[in-house]
Structure 1
Amino acid sequence: MNDRLTPAFASRSVAVKAGLNHPVIDTDVHVNDYTPVLEDYVQQYGGGQLVDALRKVLGSRFNTRSNGKDWYEQTQQERRHHRTLRSPWWARVTRNTLDLATYTLPELLNERLAEQGADYSVLFPNDVLAPLGAGKEYRQALHRAINHFHADQYRKYSDRLTPVAGIPLHTPQEGIEELEFAVKTLGLKVINIAGGVRRPIPAIAEKYPAAEHPDVARHASYTDFYGIDSEYDYDPFWAKVVELGVPVTTHYGSQGWTGRHSISNYMYNHIGHFADGSQAFAKALFFGGVTRRFPKLRVALLEGGADWGSHVFTHLLDRWEKRNRHAVQNYNPAHADLDLLEDLFHRYGQDLIKGRKLDKATLLRDSLGRSALPHSREPNEDEIDDFALAGIEAPEDIKTRWVDSFYFGSEADDRSVAAAFNDKLNPLGAKVNAIWSSDIGHWDVPDLTEPLAESWDLVEQGVIGPADFKAWVFDNPYRLYTEANPDFFAGTAVQRKLDSGK
């Protein structure tokens, strides 16, 4: 028997855990679906046709295709010709076969949680959002089947493990229907969404219908981030989320976006892509006023780290101070003193004028350049205030609608998490809500017993302090879930530990 399956085995993380006086909550654990049983559930929801739809979408998830071939089937010349995005190769743990089995067998994962050093884990099955790649006729049934499978697989271990429900958001109504089914029927209590929906650009779609020009349709699209500039009013969905007391989570990436579309290098596309994707989604909710209208909405943005949450918070404040509806008048051409401008040109601009006759009427235009000319009409108040929908009247409003609403998943060995806790760097003495996200189950964690110890290494190296560590692995995750649902941890190992005072 592998010595790790014996009571005598103690990992580095077990030693760290023994010295803590608080629980550890892992907000991001990836697990595999055992295909034969998953397909049994899918069969019950839609027969063999739905199983075929699942197999098709799973078979194409990591294969970017052009001209009928995936990246690995194409020659270098074909990749260049079609600009085929480099997709990932091996992405799951395999050599560590014990971990491979752990991520596939719920009972084994539950047993080894203590070895990992966690008291409670939120699980993200790798296929939970796979139905988003299926056709509209299959999407709802696949989501229900997969969510039902996950709910049943982990219900027995609910004191330590809870899987997320995958929720499609092509329309608000679709999201509401699946949210209610997942929460009310299946008893799931965390949801996972994509941070955006790709939609056709109407002007191009009218000229090049997708049925006739599929290649044009594939490339000529934009992303709807559910907030600012959205195709739909998603407020009914956010209202239902708050009503049901469900935290929202996303692992939204940006591979394939401009600047992340290498045809040869996966790492070039990968580094930073979760931060960029989640930033677009979070800013849409902020600038669209979603976090203003729904102050109890709690959103976790995973796998991108917390440092980007810190720098966006800083830049929001910096820009609001310069571009709020009052300060932006500093740049209004109507406020230029033309008499003063003419006088200064006469006094200091003779080398430029060189005998030219100054025309006060065109002097402003000539100084600003034609690209800065006033528009044909005066803007209204909302058009000059980019912070209008967010309702920002003071710096503290930005903190409330950014720092309080969003939680940032930081992996165990991510040294940049220190930015989240740097209240000297962050405006208003704020600390950004970093949440501990081990990401076990993916290629960046070859051994599930290491992440907690790697995070404690940052304390020993002086990167963060012990109080920051506690906030990272317990305080912030606990607040994320309980602010959405005060009873989130009722009956769990976390609540028992808190009740016992140990």
Structure 2
Amino acid sequence: MNDRLNRVHASRSAAVKAGLDHPVIDTDVHVNDYAPVLEDYVAQYGGNKLVDALRKALGGRFVTRNGGGKDWYQQTPEERQFHRTLRAPWWARVTRNTYDLATYTLPALLYERLGEQGSDYSILFPNDVLSPAAAGSEYRQPLHRAINHFHADQYRPYADRLTPVAGIPLHTPQEGIEELEFAVKTLGLKVINIAGGVRRPIRAIVEKYPAAEHPEIARQVGYIDFYGIDSEHDYDPFWAKVVELGVPVTTHYGSQGWTGRQSISNYMNNHIGHFADGSQAFAKALFFGGVTRRFPGLRVGLLEGGADWGAHVYTHLVDRWEKRNRHALRNYDPAEADVELLASLFERYGADFLKGRTLDKSKLLRDSLGISALPHSREPNESEIDDFALAGIEKVEDIRDRWVDNFYFGSEADDRTVAAAFNDRVNPLGTKINAIWSSDVGHWDVPEFTEPLAETWDLVQQGVISAADFKAFVFGNPYRFYTEANPRFFEGTEVGRKLGLKGGK
């Protein structure tokens, strides 16, 4: 007991927490699974065959699509060049700080140490929660179900301060609905984590080069379905079920391996900014596909990418809409050009161009704009003109309502760029972006479990953010994220107790 109290008193974050008049909610704690117990659960759902599928899925993370069947470390430098094998993440978890390693693996120890971290309530993202997505279709759902069941049982005794997310597969809307209902109704889990996209084959290529005959092509060629726009599936039933059940959606969706993130030797080259890029693609698909318009109650937390990208995309959406809404587009419609005026100006100022040539008015517009600026076969119809039509944007305020209200952006404790989220002098309509505190403890960027809250308070002392922004970051915004999806989210928790909520423990 004395050792524990000494650690709490010695923590910088505990000292910061002692001076606050509000709870602290951590939206991103990564925990490890103790494999022997996890595999017991998996075996109950599918025997040794399912356990083998899990092990293969976990190992498959580091065998890239173009690795020739070997992982990066099994290949020679020449093989890596030949296959262009991506350098995958490595040494990504805490090890030297052995006390912290145990903390991320043992629920009782994590619960005991929250005082050192300065957190009242933490959302847990087990590192293996999305591993089943790498498994084949016959294993994907039972693996998700087994892993979610394991996590629900492991953390149920600590529910007043800890809750694990449920991993939900979304290769089809139906499988997502089935696992969502099991996770929420049967297991009692209240937050979900999804991949921000699903890689799919391009049907035209598959028909010409069947995967069974040309596996090397199947591994290389495909596209990513981000659910919201241009999908071959209708995901609205899934989003409707999410809203009906009152579940906040989170994602740690990255873009390593995409164009510009394909180094075969350097993990950091592939890593920096990849969560922001991946989540941006997902969020824009929901926005432009009209998902946030049709489901204003949907709340999505986009983690590990920081909040500054949420601010700059919001700004760029406004900028683009002002220049390319369906009315402003007439500024660029070739039919709006006055060909007679254009011809007269050429005659007056273009003598050098016309020397030895006959002015052909029928081709003048094409020749002035360039062939590529004009449609080759037909004029676009009305449904093809307005890129903001599905989102239902009629005024700038609609962009704010369908971007800012629905999305929350996870920023890590020492991320100075979070200042962009709170910069209401720059963000359109004087808006602050919903940055939510996400410590990311358990991963390599947080070598010390007890430091994140203090590191965020350092930003206040350095003048990066204000004390009011700090409160919004570590409490106000995450509290709204969860309770706007589910008003009873914090009943029976430490946060509920401190706020005097009905049912607060």
Instruction: Normalising by structure 2, report the TM-score.
Output: 0.97
Give distance in 1, aligned partners of 2:318 and 2:479: 27
State yes or no: 1:47 paired with 2:47: yes
Match of 1:229 in 2: 230
Q: How do 1:423-502 residues align onto structure 2 when only pairs under 5 Å count?
A: 423-499=424-500
Give distance in 2, aligned partners of 1:61 and 1:456: 36
Q: Secondary structure at the match of 1:421?
A: coil
Equivalent AA in structure 2 for residue 173 of structure 1: Q
Give distance in 1, aligned partners of 2:325 and 2:53: 50
Q: Secondary structure at the match of 2:391?
A: coil
Give distance in 1, aligned partners of 2:68 and 2:315: 44
State yes or no: 1:414 paired with 2:415: yes
Match of 1:386 in 2: 387
Map Cα deviations across residues 55-109 of structure 1 (whole Å, 9 max, x no partner).
1111222343622211111111110110000012211101000000000000000
Give the aligned length.
501
1:42–1:398 distance in 2 versus 1, CA, 3 Å: same
Equivalent AA in structure 2 for residue 188 of structure 1: L
Match of 2:404 in 1: 403
Q: How do 1:203-218 residues align onto structure 2 when only pairs under 5 Å count?
A: 203-218=204-219
Map Cα deviations across residues 392-449 of structure 1 (whole Å, 9 max, x no partner).
0000000000000000000000000000000011011000000000000000000010
Match of 1:172 in 2: 173
Give distance in 1, aligned partners of 2:95 and 2:413: 20
Match of 1:359 in 2: 360
Q: CA deviation at 1:6?
A: 4.5
Q: Secondary structure at the match of 1:242?
A: helix
Match of 2:280 in 1: 279
Q: How do 1:5-154 residues align onto structure 2 when only pairs under 5 Å count?
A: 6=6, 9-64=9-64, 66-154=67-155
Task: Tell me whether 373-382 or 143-152 shows the greater mean CA deviation.
Answer: 373-382
Give distance in 2, aligned partners of 1:8 and 1:415: 26
State yes or no: 1:307 paired with 2:300: no
Equivalent AA in structure 2 for residue 18 of structure 1: A
Q: Secondary structure at the match of 1:445?
A: coil
Give distance in 2, aligned partners of 1:369 and 1:148: 61
Task: Tell me whether 379-388 or 237-246 shows the greater mean CA deviation.
Answer: 379-388
Q: CA deviation at 1:231?
A: 1.4
Runs of 4+ in structure 1 deviating by more than 6 angstroms, as ranges, are none
Give distance in 1, aligned partners of 2:322 and 2:133: 40
Task: Tell me whether 243-252 or 378-387 shows the greater mean CA deviation.
Answer: 378-387
Q: CA deviation at 1:2?
A: 10
Give distance in 2, aligned partners of 1:9 and 1:397: 48
Equivalent AA in structure 1 for residue 300 of structure 2: V
Q: CA deviation at 1:4?
A: 5.3
Give distance in 1, aligned partners of 2:109 and 2:97: 14
Q: CA deviation at 1:356?
A: 2.0
Give distance in 2, aligned partners of 1:66 and 1:2: 52
Map Cα deviations across residues 311-366 of structure 1 (whole Å, 9 max, x no partner).
00000000001111111111110110011101111111112212422111111111
Match of 1:320 in 2: 321
Q: Is the 8 A contact 1:459 1:469 kept in 2?
A: yes
Give distance in 2, aligned partners of 1:69 and 1:365: 53
Give distance in 1, aligned partners of 2:298 and 2:60: 34
Q: CA deviation at 1:46?
A: 0.7
1:5–1:262 distance in 2 versus 1, CA, 3 Å: farther
1:53–1:5 distance in 2 versus 1, CA, 3 Å: farther
Match of 1:335 in 2: 336
Unaligned runs of 5+ in 1: none
Q: Is the 8 A contact 2:62 2:72 kept in 1?
A: no
Map Cα deviations across residues 434-474 of structure 1 (whole Å, 9 max, x no partner).
00000000000000100000000000000000000001000
Give percent identity, aligned residues only.
Answer: 81
Unaligned runs of 5+ in 2: none
Q: Is the 8 A contact 2:7 2:116 kept in 1?
A: no
Give distance in 2, aligned partners of 1:236 and 1:381: 28
Match of 1:263 in 2: 264
Q: Is the 8 A contact 2:26 2:119 kept in 1?
A: yes
Match of 1:376 in 2: 377
Q: Is the 8 A contact 2:62 2:71 kept in 1?
A: no
1:440–1:79 distance in 2 versus 1, CA, 3 Å: same
Give distance in 1, aligned partners of 2:341 and 2:356: 19
Superposition RMSD on alpha carbons, in Å?
A: 1.4
Q: CA deviation at 1:5?
A: 6.7
Q: Is the 8 A contact 2:9 2:15 kept in 1?
A: no
Instruction: Normalising by structure 1, report the TM-score.
Output: 0.98
Match of 1:253 in 2: 254
